[in-house]
Structure 1
Amino acid sequence: MTKLIIAASSWQSQVADLLPCNNYKKSQLTYSLLRAYGLFEYFDYIIELPKCSKPELLDFHPREYVDVLMHPDFNFVLPYDNDEATWNHLNHVAFDWKNTHTDEQLVEKFEINVCQSRDKLFELFEELSDSTLEPKSNPKKRLASDLLLEEQNVASDRITDLVSAETRQLFNLEGDCPIFSYLPMYLQVTTGATLSLSKFLVPNSKDRTICINWDGGRHHASKKKASGFCYINDIVLLIQRMRKNGFKKITYLDFDLHHGDGVEKAFQFSKSIQTISLHLFETGFFPGTGGLSNKGSRDLIDIPLSHGLTDDYLFELVKQIIIPAIDLHAAEAIVLQCGGDGLSGDKFNEWQLTIKGLTQCIIDVIGKFSDCQIVLLGGGGYNELLVSRFYTYLTWKVVQKYSTLLEENKSIISDDDTELVVEHEYIEMYANEHYKFWIYEIEGSSKHRILKDYNEPGSIERFKRHYGLCNEDG
């Protein structure tokens, strides 16, 4: 029997969207679409209020780094980040929908349960009770800090007082990894969501578990440096905990457009943890690592790819390299990073994978290793409307194949090109795409892109030889 677990809630998605690159909407659009399609009904357990402690972050990251990230004065609206209207945009969309919709039963079904300010998010965060967590902040001290920020009214001076320029440079807390409002809360909630999955993952169990956190997958963060919108490496922390809980062999598989450098570096000398990353590898493309420079170890597999990657090519990579490599590692659990920035329609515009194609590859891996415990995490993806569709469809396919609560032959999301995004509180966000679920995959649509594929068929044989995955005749 397979059990399905997911970390998801309206509150969690709002906290996750504090991350600047989420544009205040990536996670909320995903959560609301999952709810609109009724997919949460088919999970055995839903983790709604995750939170981890500062000591848990220290299991991988050093104290001097974590102390800066978790500075209590960052759990406020910072002066240079005080545009509440921008942060609150989706709330206005939801309430406009509620106030103008004539179907009262539908409006009641999608009860809008969101916080109207970041302060309200933090109030709920502080109410979470757990004896292992940090003590609540002092309200008087909080008020004093607010007043101090208001009096100063100069953002750069405030941040410089708390963290020197040298320290920010040392830990790379600048550029794509700035200090933002409520950074400590964001880190504790999103990392806590990933770590909370570990208690459902049991080695040598007769029952299989598939766990999901679409707000996780921060694969670039290294031990003491932020990188690529990633501050804490929740993947490394999860794998470490799984090892402590008794898992002997784990495979980490990364489908993101970018190289999973942080996770690879953390386990590069481990024979127990296999890391596999397929990614764009071209001059000047971040993070610039992940070529065929290693000695062909099957425990550390990098698959450097070029512009224009297609579904068909990815299918062959999964069939000829990824599945055989995992099989040889004899993994007991597989952690998959399901970044969506390689999809056709993403703002990077580098690969042309389809939602159906990438989903099928992930489902194929899950299906092939039926004895493995599975963790699905999010990752990159910079077209929020596209990502919401991808994670919703991937979740549906997991539910369709593995949920014991789903009625037989029930169809929730059609593969037909005429499928429309279901009515829900954020439906108007999809108006410019004519509300079509598959608009990025419909040939001839304004959103469909055709890129030149620079990946040569012969490269697959080269990868196989490099990692010793050829059969006796090859």
Structure 2
Amino acid sequence: MAKLIISSSVFQSQVADLLPCNKFKKSQLTHSLIDAYNLFQYFDEVIKEPYCTPMDYLRFHSESYVKAITKDQYNKPLPYDNSEEDWAQLNEIRDLWQQSTNEDSERRYKSRSELFRAFQNIKAQRDEENESEFSFPAPKRPKVVIESTSSESVDDENIVKKFNLSGDCPIFSYLPMYLQVTTGATLSLIKNLEKSTKDNEFERVIGINWDGGRHHALRQKAEGFCYINDIVLLIQALRKKGFQKISYVDFDLHHGDGVDNAFKFSNSIQTISLHLYEGGFFPGTGGLDSNKPPNRINIPLLHGFDDDNLNLIVGKIVIPLLNQHKPDVIIIQSGGDGLMGDRFKEWQLTIRGLTRAIMDIINLYKQSHIIVLGGGGYNELVMSRFNTYLTWSIVRKYSSHITNGLIKEYIEDDSDCVIQDHEFIEMYKEEHYKFWIYDEAGSAQCKKLINFNKAETLARLERKLVPPSKHE
């Protein structure tokens, strides 16, 4: 058993879906599907109103960058983004479902301005308490003023160019609110983490934030849909609490360059990233020449990477390296853009296969706290399934709230498994409401790719990264 904590709510998911690449539905579909399987009841704590202050960002990001992305003038509909229709699309679907079923559910906010008012109430309460989820003592916080009274316009060319606030990282409506809620959701997971000592019994914590894992953000630059690097801030917060041996494992299709760069000279922070490494593929970093085993590990992989490859990499490389580091805390970035059905169409991992790899790590290191974060994944229907299945797998194994060792909510393994009825069930209509349609051979959604990851290539990676004498 372990203490299970998750940060998730309708409020958080609606805020998270302000991020343009979420297509206004990724986070809400995940939260709703997890709720449909009644999984929140098995957690020891469900954080519904996460929050942090811009001051917390200064533990990694530069003051000038933080000022640029947290201006009050961004907490409103911006001139080029004044329509509520896209953001509110799921509200209409939910209203139709509620009318047909007469069932009630957690309150949803009808407009972004209404959502922002809820955020302001949370902010006022937390500011009055002089407390953010980071929980740094106020006297030790950097003594700088974040609020900016600058008259620079939203599209100021100098600001946009300097901090890369265009392309896949535009300034969007309510950006500051989005950052404070989603970053706060990650930082809120560590309040109950304590180091084990000889004098007290170890209470393991497994924390989840599906809206976290923004691994590309650099110290003073936005990159790859990432503005604030919540992972680096999380590691800094863990160090502040006295944890020194920390391992970070990144399963995202893209190299975790922001985290890699932040700790490339550290001997106590281990970063391991599995990613596609091919010419022209973002971010273009993470080759073998950047490795410094056993603490800085980049595992460059090719098109077509599959479950068998993943199982080999985790068993032969990742686990032996974790064994060397002996971490007190393991942070897992579980980006799902390598899953079959993702719009990138580069890897062909299955939901079961990626979940199994992550669970292998969680199961093996029973004396390590675990933080599981989200990340990439650009098919919202695939991601809602994956995040729900991984949540279910963790709950089924580790919840202390399961009666007689049984969990009533099941996600069947067979191909006829139908998604639980809930407010957004009609989003899955074109996929015949099947849970496993992306994994089942022969289905219209299951597309096989040519696999360029040959056995000899993977064996060479193993020899390069894990000396034979270090295998355990």
* TM-score for both structures, normalised by structure 2: 0.92
Instruction: Give the structure 2 partner of residue 125 of structure 1.
Output: 119
1:193-250 superposed Cα distances (whole Å, 9 cap, x missing partner): 0011111221216111100000000000000000000000000000000011010100
TM-fit CA distance, 1:468: 3.4
Which of 170, 182, 189 does residue 197 from structure 1 map onto? 189
Does structure 2 conserve the Cα–Cα contact (< 8 Å) formed by 1:324 and 1:469? Answer: no
- Alignment of structure 1 residues 210-229 onto 2, 5 Å: 210-229=206-225
Provide closer, same or farther for how the CA distance between residues 472 and 37 of structure 1 changes in structure 2, counting only shifts above 3 A. Answer: closer
User: 1:160: how far off?
Assistant: 6.3
Residue 92 of structure 1, CA deviation: 0.2
Contact kept, 8 Å, 1:54 with 1:133, in 2: the verdict is no
Q: Report the Cα distance in structure 2 between the residues aligned to 1:431 and 1:304, rounded to whole angstroms.
A: 37
Q: What pairs up with 1:398-413 in 2 under 5 angstroms?
A: 398-407=394-403, 408-410=405-407, 411-413=409-411
> Is 2:452 the counterpart of 1:460?
no
Query: Where has structure 1 moved over 3 Å in runs of 4 or more?
Result: 471-474
What is residue 306 of structure 2 aligned with on the other side?
310
Does residue 276 in structure 1 map to residue 268 in structure 2? Answer: no
Distance 1:181 1:53 in 2: 18
2:371 maps to a residue whose letter is V
Per the alignment, do residues 224 and 10 of structure 1 end up closer, same or farther by CA in structure 2, a change over 3 Å counting?
Answer: same
The equivalent of 1:152 in structure 2 is none
Distance 2:248 2:239 in 1: 13
Question: What is the match of residue 427 of structure 1?
Answer: 425
Give the AA of the match of 1:166.
N
Distance 1:186 1:208 in 2: 30
RMSD of the TM alignment (CA)?
Answer: 1.7
CA deviation string 1:351-378 (max 9, x = no partner): 0000000000000011111100000000
User: What is the SS of the residue equivalent to 2:117?
Assistant: helix
| Structure 1 range deviating more: 292-301 or 234-243 | 292-301
Deviation for aligned residue 1:295:
4.9
Q: Summarize the alignment of residues 32-181 of structure 1 with structure 2, pairs less than 5 Å apart.
A: 32-101=32-101, 104=102, 107-108=103-104, 111-128=105-122, 129-130=125-126, 131=128, 132=130, 161-162=153-154, 164-181=156-173
Q: Which residue of 1 aligns with 2:135?
A: none
In 2, Cα distance between equivalents of 1:427 and 1:159: 46
CA distance in 1, matches of 2:74, 2:313: 43
* Partner residue of 1:207 out of 190, 203, 219: 203
2:359 to 359, 363, 377: 363
Q: How far is the alpha carbon of 1:268 from its aligned partner?
A: 0.3
> Structure 1 residues 94, 297: closer, same or farther in 2, change over 3 A?
same
User: 1:465 offset after TM fit, Å?
Assistant: 2.1
The CA distance in 2 between the partners of 1:61 and 1:473, in whole Å, is 37
Q: Report the alpha carbon displacement of residue 409 of structure 1 after superposing the two structures with TM.
A: 3.1
1:327 alignment partner in structure 2: 323
Task: Give the SS at the match of 1:395.
Answer: helix
SS at match of 1:275: strand
Amino acid aligned to 1:469: P
Amino acid at match of 1:120: E
Alpha-carbon distance between aligned partners in 2 of 1:434 and 1:91, rounded to the nearest angstrom = 22
Q: Give the deviation of 1:464 after TM superposition.
A: 2.1
Report the Cα distance in structure 1 between the residues aligned to 2:153 and 2:254, rounded to whole angstroms.
Answer: 34
The 8 Å contact of residues 91 and 114 in structure 1, kept in 2 or not, is answered as yes
Match of 2:441 among 425, 440, 443: 443
Q: Deviations over 1:377-433 (max 9, x none)?
A: 000000000000000000000001000112323352111111111100000000000
Give the C-alpha shift of residue 133 in structure 1. 6.3
Partner SS state of residue 293, structure 1: helix
- Whole-Å separation in 2 of the counterparts to 1:313 and 1:373: 27
Kindly indicate whether the alpha-carbon contact (under 8 Å) linking 1:68 and 1:163 is maintained by their aligned counterparts in 2: no
Q: Residues 473 and 331 from structure 1, CA distance in 2 versus in 1: closer, same or farther, beyond 3 angstroms?
A: closer
- SS state of the match for residue 79, structure 1? coil
**Is 1:288 matched with 2:288?**
no
How far did 1:473 drift?
Answer: 10
Aligned equivalent of 2:248 = 252
Deviates more, 1:113-122 or 1:77-86: 77-86
The DSSP-based 3-state class of the residue aligned with 1:277 is: strand
1:87 is paired with a residue whose SS is coil
| Pairs within 5 Å for 1:335-374 | 335-374=331-370
Kept in 2, the 8 Å contact 1:321–1:469? The answer is: no
Shift of 1:163: 5.3
1:145 alignment counterpart = none
CA distance in structure 1 between the aligned counterparts of 2:274 and 2:215, rounded to whole angstroms: 13
After TM superposition, the structure 1 stretch with the greater mean CA deviation from structure 2, 125-134 or 287-296, is 125-134
Give 2:138's aligned residue: none
* Letter aligned with residue 182 of structure 1: Y
Hey, what's the Cα distance between the residues in 1 that align with 2:310 and 2:463? 18
Contact 2:321 2:466 in 1 (8 A): no
User: What residue ranges of structure 2 are gaps of 5+ in the alignment?
Assistant: 133-149
TM-score, with structure 1 as normaliser: 0.91
| Of 179, 185, 195, the match for 1:187 | 179
Distance in 1, matches of 2:157 and 2:468, equals: 51
Identity %, equivalent residues? 52
By how many angstroms is 1:449 displaced?
0.9
1:16 maps to: 16
CA distance in 1, matches of 2:81, 2:151: 12
The alignment covers a number of residue pairs equal to 445
Cα separation, 1, equivalents of 2:46 and 2:461: 40
Indicate how the Cα distance of structure 1 residues 342 and 284 shifts in structure 2: closer, same or farther if over 3 A, else same: same
How far off is 1:59 after superposition? 1.1
For 1:211 and 1:162, locate their aligned partners in 2 and report how far apart those are by CA, in whole Å.
36
CA distance in 2, matches of 1:260, 1:23: 22
1:472 is displaced (CA, Å) by: 7.8
Matching residue within 452, 467, 470 for 2:468? 470
Contact kept, 8 Å, 1:296 with 1:466, in 2: the verdict is no
